[in-house]
Chains A and B, each alone.
Chain A
Amino acid sequence: MKKLFSSMLTVTMLSIVLAACSNPGGDQSKNATNEPQNGGSSPKTETVTLKFWRPSGNDAENGAISKLIENFEAKNPGIKVDLENVPFDNYETKVRTALAGKTAGDIIAIDAPTMSSYANAGALYDLTSFMEADADLKDIPEGILQSMKYDGKYYIAPISEANIALFYNKKMFEAKGIPLPSKNVDEAWTWDQVLDAAKKLNDPAKGVYGIDPAQGFGGGEGPAYFKTPILWQFGAEVLSPDGSTAKGYLDSKEAKEALTFYQSLYQTYKVSPLELPPDPFPTGKVAMFVDGIWDLANFTTNFPNFKLGEDWDIAPLPKAKRQAMANGSWTFGVTADSKYPKEAWQLINYMTGTEGAKIYADMTGALPVRYSVVDQTPKMKEYPYSVFVGQLQKYSMPRPVTPAYPAVSAAIRELFEDVGQGNRDVNAAAADAVKKIDDAIEALKR
């Protein structure tokens, strides 16, 4: 306790020193770059301009961020925020090129699993002292804290979270007389129960599939987000705890069980569609569908006749040996080359702190990260949100935290494609995936 106190004291002192150091610096460079002072009537506070890059989201998300910035600027007259909403598809490419050219914004939005490659490359500012001083880390679930850290240091702060669950077509369940799964977070169905139900629900003649276990097959980060949890649920890990190898983990007995089960859904029992049509769940083409909280709004707006509670319901994500799903959504970090890390942190701290995160959650309907925000948002305690929030707080874990993450993500996508779509031997496919990841880890050491 004494030790903790003294270390906190050191951190606080350190941040005061940092603050003291950074202020004159900020002022100086401001003097150098600002327009000549006008008539002298305006307040004498110098303004700092923070460049803030994020991928453009939907209207609600963009509106919420603008609102947060407005509030922040009103409270901090000395800081102006120059927001750039980058088109989503170009965002990662733009950020990566800009980081290499050292021209990225002061604050950048970061998809949590890519953080470690940026941090390892020295592109991010270490926020540990700031965070420990004033981010109230105890207000954040442990599983999420882990996704914010690389090498023991905090680099990013999340504004919202996401979570996935089992969506099921209630009418189809009732038609076949299958008992409905529980809505209680701690009573998830096992994959065996899911498979049983899927076999009964499967009806190829009518074009109905039993279950889509992980959003079919696609590109990008989606596959790793939806498919890594299947490995975890069967008791496997992707990497060794120290992140040095995938050997013995991604090709472990447990991992192969998970892959064999996944393969059997497509190839043995044929209860899962190899090619997903658009919107398969609300159009009744799959009876069970693993999907994310973000589709709640999509279904309500675009399929008003497909009603939650009447036509469909949400159950916790299936488990095998344990319950697990990935956390890590969009977060904010400060670039290492930023001239105003302290001011940048102030903005991030406002946006991701209780007040800002509450505004964001209210305006967008996204899952709040902080316990305090959940407590202040009654709807988060009610079904269907309770399923997602409960899972997030109890069972979510970060995707592998390693600078080789891009290679890990690609290897997992290809691995599940290989065994699911390609019906490839699980041993050979796992061996290939291990090699791809280990080669990438090796290459980073050079």
Chain B
Amino acid sequence: MIAGKQYSLRRSDGITGFLFVLPAFILLLVFVFIPMAKAFYYSFNDYMLVSGSKTFVGLKNYADLLQDTKFLNSIKHTFYFAVIVIPVQTAIALGLALLVKPQFKYTGFFRTAFFVPVVISTAVAGTVFKLIYNRDFGLLNVLIGAVGIPKISLLSNADIAMNGVIILGIWKAAGFFMIVYLAGLNNIPQDLYESARVDGASKLQQFFYITLPLLKRTTAFIIIMTTIDAIKLSGIVFVLTSGGPNSSTETIVYFIYKTAFDQMQMGYASAAAFILFFMILIISVIQMLFLRSKVNY
């Protein structure tokens, strides 16, 4: 009897739990998993957007993509962005967090000031930076001209254009990760620093032996998020450069969008999207393995 009662209780609990999860599950199913499965199916088809004509072509889209210089270049541009942005932006975010952590009179002002770019819309930021970067009339060249540095053409020189995107990207996102680091810093118990001071550790030693190790989880989170954001880069490219000059700032997501909605090659674009998906998946898994922290406090 008792066993049966327990069983039925557990069973009704199970149903209740299932009902609680059901709405969320249905939403996920309809808006995430089914579209993903369909897109995966389309990636094996020569699927054109407007006509909806579909012919199964197997792995042809994938094979073509791996020989498509435009796609390969977009991967190159994306990774150039990521490789620079991940360390630089993380370092800047940490630096900013350390700067605004101590409570002074104007701390609130600086925290806000550094966070403001995150709130500004990408379209506005892109337009303003376009003005700043302009070769002949922009603020940037006026400033560096005053110091005697020759003009730089961030918007028309294909060799350096990606750096313009990088500067805007970091300016726009560093403030967000500063806040995350700030939370991480505030989680480090003060007594650790006190005992370190008693033992005679310098500020630098405190940073390298207490702050940095104890921020490892935060850093791991930030690096993984930055990586995913960097690889998904597209908004800034849309407003700042439209992929130019000479396609030098075309990123993977930009390529996918253009292929799908301008060229209407949905199948081809879906295949590119899945290559991107697997790239992010693999990179994230590797990062999680490497950055796994054993420190608990």
- A277-B131 contact given A96-B49, A421-B244, A422-B246, CB 8 Å threshold: yes
Which B residues lie within 8 Å of A443 (CB)?
265
Taking the closest CB of chain B, its distance from the CB of A206, in whole angstroms, is 11
Q: A96-B50, A410-B263 are in contact. Are A417 and B134 (CB under 8 A)?
A: no
Residue among B156, B243, B245 with most chain A CB within 10 A: B156
B244 touches A121 (CB 8 A): no
Say yes or no: B136 contacts A275, CB within 8 Å: yes
Q: Report yes or no: B136 in contact with A418, Cβ–Cβ below 8 A.
A: no
The segment from A144-152, A185-193, A213-221, A387-395 that touches chain B is A213-221
A117 interface hit (Cβ, 8 Å): yes
Any A CB within 8 A of the CB of B247: yes
- Is A407 an interface position by the 8 A CB rule? yes
Instruction: Write the residues of chain A forming the contact surface with B, with a CB cutoff of 8 angstroms.
Output: 92-93, 96-97, 99-100, 117-118, 120-123, 207, 217-220, 273-275, 277-278, 285, 406-407, 410, 414, 417-418, 421-422, 424, 440, 443, 446
Complex contacts, A100 vs chain B, CB 8 Å: 49-52, 266
Q: Does B125 contact A (CB under 8 A)?
A: no
B158 an interface residue at 8 Å Cβ cutoff? yes
Chain B binding surface SS class: loop
Q: What are 7 A-B interface contacts by the 8 Å CB criterion? A: A97-B49, A207-B136, A220-B242, A277-B134, A410-B258, A422-B245, A443-B265
- How many B residues touch A, CB cutoff 8 Å? 33
A406 close to B262 (CB less than 8 A): yes
Distance of A440 Cα from B49 Cα, bound (Å): 15
Chain B nearest CB, measured from A211 CB (Å): 15
Give complex CA distance A117, B264 in Å: 9
Chain B nearest CB from A270 CB (Å) reads 11
Q: Which residues of A contact B245 (CB under 8 A)?
A: 217, 417, 421-422
Chain A residues contacting B158 (CB-CB under 8 Å) are: 421-422
Judge whether B244 and A417 touch: CB under 8 Å. Answer: yes
Q: Is the CB of A410 within 8 A of B262?
A: yes
Judging by beta carbons under 8 Å apart, are A275 and B51 in contact?
no
List 3 A-B pairs, minimum CB-CB distance, nearest first: A219-B242, A121-B51, A274-B156
Q: A118-B50, A274-B153, A417-B244 are in contact. Are A96 and B264 (CB under 8 A)?
A: yes
Residue of A nearest to B265 (CB): A443
Docked CA distance A353–B243 (Å): 40
Q: Are B246 and A275 in contact (CB under 8 A)?
A: no
Contact status B51-A123, CB under 8 Å: yes
Q: Do B263 and A407 touch (CB < 8 A)? A: yes
**Of B135, B137, B258, B264, the contact of A274 (CB 8 Å cutoff):** B135
The reply to whether B134 and A275 contact each other, CB–CB distance below 8 Å, is yes
B92 on the A face (CB < 8 A): no
Contacts of B52 in A (CB 8 A): 100, 121
Question: Whole-angstrom distance between the alpha carbons of A440 and B259 in the complex?
Answer: 12
On whether A207 and B137 interact (CB within 8 A), knowing A96-B50, A278-B131, A421-B245, the answer reads yes
